[in-house]
Chain A
Amino acid sequence: MQVSVDRDRCCSSGLCATNAPEIFDQDDRDSLVRLRQTVFLPSQFADLRLAAELCPSGAITVTEDIGTTPTQETDTAR
């Protein structure tokens, strides 16, 4: 599963950090979303999908990939 966060779109609702605090954080300087991990376990996939679904500004995108897991993830904002 690929996860990307678009900090330009983030509106700091905090829903990602509320529902999946081990995966998502909010930056102390600008309050925008940050990924705490680069590699995700299958046990976290449901949380990741929920975070993307709940994100009000569409800042979190998950892409299901077929094949090997876990995979290297990307953070498009950096």
Chain B
Amino acid sequence: MTSTPTAPAVPLPAPHDMRCPFSPPPAYTEAARTSSVTRAELPDGSPCWLVTGYPEVRTVLSDRRFSADARHPAFPLFTPGRRELFARNPSFIRLDDPEHARLRRMVTGDFLVKRVEAMRPGIQQIVDDALDRMTDGTTEADLVAAFALPVPSLVICLLLGVPYEDREMFQRLSRTLLNNTSGVDEVAKAQQELQDYLGGLAAHKKEHPAEDILSRLAARDDLTLQEIASTGILLLIAGHETTANMIGLSTVLLLDRPDQVAKLADPAALPGAVEELLRHTTIVQTGLPRVAVEDVELEGTLIRAGEGVFAMLSTANRDERMFGADGRLPADEVDLDRDARRHLAFGFGVHQCLGQPLARAELQIALATLFRRLPGLRLAAPRSELVFRDDTVVYGLKSLPVTW
């Protein structure tokens, strides 16, 4: 049985309430309270669906009746710029199998759990060096610029074979691509610049191969230069923006909870603590877009073929039915003892984050080392002055003034 919801459509994307900067936007939370599937509206006025409940989000992301192919004319996107970007050179994140699997499998070997485990000493060195530089002769810093951004940027640059000296350029371009307010021309230009940059690097590495992902991709004869560059852009952006923002936001959360920081010092508790931070923070704030390619009934609502859907990871990860049980604190609270391993912060289904073992290792090492080396870490500005990134795909902090 299906019903037609009567509540007004939720306008997307909805803003955060800055009095509760760590909670999902109130419009999403409110929608989730009433139903797991709600009518919503894109900025251009076209209709789509907002899916907010844990089991329903899992269904949308793992059911092949929902497509991730952004070239579909009804694929829901916030901006014309993003449509332009995905139509031109889609990376595998915006393709369906078998195209998606073919391209993704070119790089899965670089993110094997055991391979990432072997990288831990190298990541630890990068973290230690960044903290040495940050604390050298001073007791104050912007933690985003001095630590949260450099650590994952350095790691992904090493893995991909991208010169870290070029970080200002690729960090600026990736911010343009992730921003919901960037215009079509701006996005097209940023995308082309990154495409040319990575394509150029790959062409060079074809002649002068090194031990890195771009070299390995460039050496293959079953990939076009465009496919190599698109994969490179995806890994470069996903590799630094996400982890950087997780480090920044997690630090603020932990500064507010000194009683829980001890968990980071216990190697047995650290992985679980990071899962809870991932669950609670869920930085992909715009949700994951899909388009129905067949009629699907979800929680009594009929989603028709050709209708767009946003799977909201943030509200799914606050679903009380899933995370509030067993006498634990409510799902809206941070509880580093909670078993949060079922969270959807990395998505779900065949598109689930390829780099999640690396993200876990980086977060565990970065957060544990930061609080061990700087036990007196605290904010250097009033809480109310922190500036959050509310207008991007990936939530985060613009800067984080700290002292120790």
Contact = CB atoms under 8 A, between A and B. Distances in A.
Given A11-B101, A11-B104, A30-B105, A18 B357 contact: yes
A14 B113 contact: yes
A21 B113 contact: yes
Contacts of B342: 53-54
B62 A14 contact: no
Closest 9 CB pairs of A and B: A31-B108, A56-B352, A12-B108, A17-B113, A14-B113, A11-B350, A26-B112, A14-B357, A13-B352
A50 B96 CA distance: 27
A57 interface: yes
A11 B352 contact: yes
Nearest to B104: A11
Contact of B62 (A17, A30, A58): A58
A19 interface: yes
A56 B62 contact: yes
A56 B112 CA distance: 16
Contacts, number: 58
Interface of A: 11-15, 17-19, 21, 25-26, 28, 30-31, 50, 53-54, 56-58
Contacts of B111: 12, 14
Nearest to A50: B341
Given A14-B113, A56-B350, 8 more contacts: A11-B349, A11-B351, A14-B357, A15-B356, A17-B114, A18-B360, A54-B342, A56-B348
Contacts of A53: 342
Interface in B136-159: none
B347 interface: yes
Interface string B341-365: 1100011111111101100100000
A42 B113 CA distance: 25
12 contacts: A11-B350, A11-B352, A12-B105, A12-B112, A13-B346, A17-B113, A18-B360, A25-B114, A28-B109, A54-B341, A57-B350, A58-B62
A11 B96 CA distance: 13
Contacts of A19: 341
A52 to B, nearest CB: 12
Interface of B: 61-62, 101, 104-105, 108-109, 111-114, 341-342, 346-354, 356-357, 360
A12 B114 contact: no
Nearest to A18: B113
B113 A26 contact: yes
Nearest to B112: A26
A12 B349 contact: no
A35 B101 CA distance: 21
A61 B342 CA distance: 17
A31 B357 contact: no
A13 B105 CA distance: 11
Contacts of B351: 11
Given A31-B105, A31-B108, A26 B341 contact: no
Nearest to B347: A56
Contacts of B62: 56-58
B356 A13 contact: yes
Contacts of B352: 11, 13, 56-57
A26 B114 contact: yes
A21 B360 CA distance: 15
A5 to B, nearest CB: 15
B393 to A, nearest CB: 20
A50 B357 CA distance: 17
Contacts of A26: 112-114
Contacts of A58: 62
Contacts of A12: 104-105, 108, 111-112, 354
A78 B279 CA distance: 36
Contacts of A31: 105, 108-109, 112
A15 B353 CA distance: 11
Contacts of A18: 113, 357, 360
Q: With a 10 A CB-CB cut-off, give which of B62, B108, B356 has the most chain A CB atoms.
A: B108
